[in-house]
Amino acid sequence: MKRYWLKFRSLDSKIQGAIILIVILIIGIIVRWNFIMESIISSFKFFST
């Protein structure tokens, strides 16, 4: 784990920011996944009736 951290620290700051944003987005998607799927399913039911 420490080796990855050292590699991460040696990257460009823009790349670090992009990696952090991607990680936050992935965590957010996982947390909100149930809500997203329920809203998609309910919208399909709304349009199919």
The reported pLDDT for the residue numbered 23 is 93
The reported pLDDT for the residue numbered 49 is 58
Please state the length of the chain. 49
The reported pLDDT for the residue numbered 22 is 94
Residues 6 or more apart whose Cβ sits within 8 Å of residue 29: 36
Please give the average pLDDT of every successive group of 10 residues along the chain, which has 49 residues. 79 87 91 84 79
The reported pLDDT for the residue numbered 21 is 93
Asked if 14 and 6 count as a contact pair (C-beta separation under 8 A), the reply is no
Q: Quote the tokens at residue 47.
A: 């349009």
The reported pLDDT for the residue numbered 26 is 93
Q: Which pTM was predicted?
A: 0.50
Domain ranges (residues) in the chain: 1-48
